[in-house]
Amino acid sequence: MTEFWLISAPGEKTCQQTWDKMMAATTRTNNLSTNHKFSIPDLKVGTLDVLVGLSDELAKLDSFVESVVKKVAQYMADVLEDSRDKVQENLLANGVDLVTYITRFQWDMAKYPIKQSLKNISEIISKQITQIDNDLKTRASAYNNLKGNLQNLERKNAGSLLTRSLGDIVKKEDFVLDSEYLITLLVVVPKTSYSDWDKTYETLAEMVVPRSSNLLCEDNDSGLFSVTLFRKAIDDFKHKARENKFIVRDFQYNEEEMKADKEEMTRLSTDKKKQFVSEMCVYGLPVNFQAMLLQPSKKTMKKLREVLNDLYKHLDSSAAAIIDSAMDIPGLNLSQQEYYPYVYYKIDCNLLDFKV
């Protein structure tokens, strides 16, 4: 399970007592979840009016952060391509996997100074996530261009003999080179017409070199033949060949160009592998409560929810009525299914639709 429940409840006499009571209710007798303390520093919470005023902004920011983090994960999946099964192990926060990062979470005092107000901290987070989103769009665009160029080159080296690049098929010795008068052409001939080709190629134009045709390679439908003739006969030969459904490919043997094409493909392939993912962001909650991270198993979720409601129902006597009604909680922007007598956030470390 990659799902965690981040909950927060007021301290008993001490925060440690709150932790001990929750541990006793969820692990010591019934093993409902694996629990971790979630350390949050003393933030400048301000007044209730300030918190209510921030609630809508924080809800929007939360959705924005989640969307950007998922886009980062999807970008990583796109980059890894054939190694998509390794996406989860490559999704790191501060150099560690997401589960380790969450269960050992530490507030970054340098990035999010606790002397700042909650509003200022939320604005800092918003600016950072916006920058990550913009950087991601730029990098994704560059990656897609790179990927498109590579696919175009790969397409040239695939497909039928009528369309594919011939540079990786032919050899230098297949051609008459550096001749003022002679030239070697490459002709695609349907397999069903091999015998016709053998009988007629020498007579398709004047000045075709006898017995100069060789079969260089085949695909499912056709064969690639070489043929040597005098340069002045090229146009006549192409015209007659086309009448017989023999296709002369527009190809000139040039070692430097073919070498450049191979180097370009290698470069694009290497550059494609160098794409990396922008950092991800996780942020915490305001305190004066004990924050606790619970990792339930799928089988124990319902029972764990019942135990937590029993444990903290005294914090809000109206919670049961609110949960059972269609009422929204003013200022909190939460649906009735999400309201509990304790602070609750669900964190899912599985950022893609992969089963883990």
pLDDT tens-digit series, residues 249-297: 998 888 777 777 676 666 666 665 555 433 334 322 233 456 788 888 8
Determine, yes or no, domain membership for 153: no
Q: Could you give the angle at the alpha carbon of 9 between the alpha carbons of 110 and 328, nearest 5°? A: 100
Tokens of 22: 């929750």
Determine, yes or no, domain membership for 220: yes
Residue 218 host element (H or E): strand 214-218
Determine, yes or no, domain membership for 283: yes
Determine, yes or no, domain membership for 89: yes
pLDDT tens-digit series, residues 126-143: 999 999 899 888 888 888
Between residues 315 and 67, the one the model is more confident about: 67
Same domain, 239 and 324: no
**Which domain-ending residue is among 253, 283, 314?**
253
Same domain, 14 and 137: yes
Same domain, 206 and 320: no
Determine, yes or no, domain membership for 55: yes
Determine, yes or no, domain membership for 353: no
Same domain, 190 and 96: no
Same domain, 182 and 299: no
Same domain, 330 and 281: yes
Assign residue 276 a region: left if phi > 0, alpha if psi is -120 to 50, beta otherwise? Answer: beta
* pLDDT confidence band for 309 (50 / 70 / 90): confident
Same domain, 58 and 144: yes
Q: Give the residue ranges of DSSP H helices in 244-344.
A: 255-273, 301-312, 319-324
Mean pLDDT of 10-23: 84
Same domain, 278 and 239: no
Specify the range with the lowest mean pLDDT, choosing from 63-72, 186-195, 215-224, 325-334.
325-334
Measured distance CA(84)–CA(273) in Å, rounded: 13
* pLDDT confidence band for 150 (50 / 70 / 90): confident
List all residues 6 or more positions away from 4 whose beta carbon is below 8 Å from its beta carbon. Answer: 102, 293, 294, 295, 346, 347, 348, 349
Same domain, 190 and 43: no
Between residues 239 and 270, the one the model is more confident about: 239
pLDDT cut 90: percent of the chain above it: 31
Tally the domains of the chain: 2
**Which domain-ending residue is among 219, 253, 287?**
253
pLDDT at residue number 72 = 84
Q: Which domain holds residue 340?
A: 3-148+274-348
Residue 225 pLDDT exceeds 80: yes
**Which domain-ending residue is among 191, 222, 253?**
253
pLDDT at residue number 274 = 58
Same domain, 182 and 297: no
Residue 68 pLDDT exceeds 70: yes
Determine, yes or no, domain membership for 356: no
Residue 280, burial from CB neighbour count under 10 angstroms (0-12, 13-18, 19+): buried
Same domain, 195 and 332: no
Measured distance CA(311)–CA(305) in Å, rounded: 10
Measured distance CA(347)–CA(349) in Å, rounded: 6
Mean of all residue pLDDT scores within the chain: 80
Q: Give me the CATH number covering residue 286.
A: 1.20.1460
pLDDT at residue number 321 = 44
Measured distance CA(288)–CA(41) in Å, rounded: 9
Determine, yes or no, domain membership for 240: yes
pLDDT at residue number 331 = 41
pLDDT at residue number 273 = 58
Mean pLDDT of 300-308: 89
pLDDT at residue number 336 = 42
Residue 194 pLDDT exceeds 80: yes
pLDDT at residue number 345 = 80
Between residues 59 and 1, the one the model is more confident about: 59
The highest-confidence range among 11-20, 48-57, 206-215, 259-268, by mean pLDDT, is 206-215
Same domain, 231 and 178: yes
* pLDDT confidence band for 175 (50 / 70 / 90): very high
pLDDT at residue number 265 = 65
Q: Give me the CATH number covering residue 199.
A: 3.30.70.100
pLDDT at residue number 123 = 93
